[in-house]
Chain A
């Protein structure tokens, strides 16, 4: 049996309508469950960076990665599972708070190096940044006070050191990607 592990996959995609749908559709066709997905702009104009976390046997993840390359708008895919990477996610947690326990909550948030970003008479909003484990731990510590809302971004990742999961530099500060269409900037939504 192949071992089931969590895989971190980074995809650089052209910022065009429908791309997210196409990629999600490929995962779905092959029966994959996406545990988290974070999308945002990359350092290259016109390219978005998607970070997926997936569970499943390594052989299946390889197959799906190959399938993803069939999506014409996908420029590069990297499986970072075996790489040295820095991963972070951000969570906003709205917790019940009273005058009696607000101090205790602030203490917990300090331990996790989080921040209180909003206060109201009966609640606080806590911002936590870190690995999923750290966010989980903070959540567990805050849970007894009563959680009203939780919003997590999902994992984002970059490789440590010189290795990179983006396009290679052609010369100082210039990537090898030029969007098609006479240099017109392509802005648009992935949806």
Chain B
């Protein structure tokens, strides 16, 4: 059957089960948008900035396991997607980005709104295509979805010139994909799995390091079985949080730069690390030369390139985490490690790491902890990047699988608002908290308009310290307290909320916190709370950049540093 290029893409999206497309139309994609009218089963969400479209599609994909789809026009539309695509690339999130391109006869002539989109996105996509004839569209879209979701997931991009959207071609959706160069290994090597079981049986001080791979492959039950059967403490990386129940007695929280002191010490003592779907990021390992000096390492990952990239494993296992664990668990012997756990518990009691002082100050940690408690561990939490993210990671010990959504590898400020939108679209009836920093919030807050338009009842909590807090913390600690260019001028967030059509609340004292959270939880619509927290609070524990895990600073030094006070910067 003859169809236009635009119709062919829409037909493909329907067959791939796409329900939502986040995007903004433009000159080059107009023929594509014209085809949406005939496909009511696919909703288009008009965002306010393409970065928002990519982050929303990204978060939607993280919590559903489906492929997130975003769309932008040529040139500036496509370049605005780049941050969101890079974020999905670093965190292995399945995403298909469809971009418009100038007409084929203008390509390479610096046409209006032309950018070399496939060139720009080449290092941050698993694959990308510039499709020059409508005949190739169906196969390209089929391959795109297959590549995005297969093996280690990631973003792909399809660049379509305006005339190719209009061109007619015979539509036939390919049944199969034939990519000889793309056949990821899913099952672990049986001999390696036997070796791993052997190492686990021999180990006295084992630790599991659970990463994003556990959540991506939905291996929650398999991980729990392994941990319980062999009695092994589970440390969850930033992206691994909510891959293992936070209330489980074997859950130890996060390791690394702002991880729990006890974990960093335990890694130094361990004789076996079972790294599952994690990639030994520098924020986890600290200085590599001193990382886990006594440990043998079992590394399970679907991407062979991750094996041995940073840490050389004793037993490498390439494969899908869920399948590998399912094969490993029956070979693992039941065992107890009471002495080892008692040792960790002792360190934990001596260095509580995340205890909150009992005073009147409005501490950001207190706010995060209260949100966690009062939400009853229900629902989803989304964060941006910075101090507030680390506090959220320290205090949200979620039980609900895959309910902690944050950006790990790339770390773009401004993830929190559009990502919360993506999560709420995926789960319209669930509670979604967006923990925001005042810096990142101002980068993408325009998406509040889309959120109100679609009546998404997201609860935004801005931990407002009037600083780019994490950068300020580094200036204080490592740049001789020379605080420069990190003091934020923020708007009146309550008025801002009201302007967008949200309920706005302001909290300036500790005693108001619970009331405000209660109000937000009972209000049916979106709410924004401006928590004006202590401005100079720093994130601890901390491993200084370049230092080893054994050098973790558990608590701030006692000698008082000169305190930068909150000074209202007046608008001129």
A interface, CB within 8 angstroms of B: 13-14, 17-18, 21-22, 25, 29, 59, 62-63, 66-67, 69-76, 177-178, 180-181
Contact = CB atoms under 8 A, between A and B. Distances in A.
A72 B126 contact: yes
Contacts of B182: 72
A64 B537 CA distance: 42
B122 A25 contact: yes
Interface in B329-355: none
A63 B178 contact: no
A62 B118 CA distance: 27
Given A63-B305, A66-B304, A70-B126, A14 B181 contact: yes
B17 interface: no
A58 to B, nearest CB: 12
B304 A69 contact: yes
A71 B181 CA distance: 8
B118 A18 contact: yes
B139 interface: yes
Sort A-B residue pairs by CB-CB distance and give the 4 closest, nearest first: A66-B305, A180-B178, A72-B127, A75-B181
Given A14-B181, A66-B305, A178-B180, 13 more contacts: A13-B181, A14-B180, A18-B122, A25-B123, A29-B123, A67-B305, A69-B181, A69-B305, A70-B303, A72-B126, A72-B179, A177-B180, A180-B139
Interface in B171-190: 178-182
B570 interface: no
Q: Which size bracket describes the interface of B in this complex?
A: 20 to 34
B293 interface: no
B309 interface: yes
Nearest to A46: B180
Interface in B102-140: 118-119, 122-123, 126-127, 130, 139
A62 B179 contact: no
B136 to A, nearest CB: 9
B147 interface: yes
Contact of A59 (B123, B127, B130, B308): B308
Contacts of A178: 178, 180
Contacts of A74: 181
A71 B122 CA distance: 10
A21 B122 contact: yes
Nearest to A12: B181
Interface of B: 118-119, 122-123, 126-127, 130, 139, 147, 178-182, 303-305, 307-309
A13 B122 CA distance: 17
Most chain A CB within a 10 A radius of its CB, from B180, B303, B307: B180
A100 B130 CA distance: 58
B309 A63 contact: yes
Contacts of B119: 21
Nearest to B129: A18
A72 B139 contact: no
A72 B147 contact: yes
5 contacts: A29-B123, A63-B305, A69-B181, A70-B126, A180-B178
Nearest to B305: A66
A71 B147 CA distance: 11
Nearest to B306: A66
Most chain B CB within a 10 A radius of its CB, from A29, A63, A70: A70
B139 A181 contact: yes
A30 to B, nearest CB: 10
A70 B305 contact: yes
Contacts of A180: 139, 178-179
Contacts of A29: 123
B301 to A, nearest CB: 11
Nearest to A26: B123
B161 to A, nearest CB: 14
Nearest to A181: B139
Given A62-B308, A72-B127, A22 B178 contact: no
Contacts of B118: 18
A75 B308 contact: no
Most chain B CB within a 10 A radius of its CB, from A72, A177, A181: A72
A1 B309 CA distance: 16
Contact of A22 (B122, B130, B304): B122
Nearest to A29: B123
Contacts of A25: 122-123
Contacts of B147: 72
B283 to A, nearest CB: 20
Contacts of A67: 305
B154 to A, nearest CB: 9
Contacts of A17: 130
A75 B305 contact: no
A73 B178 contact: no
Contacts of A59: 308
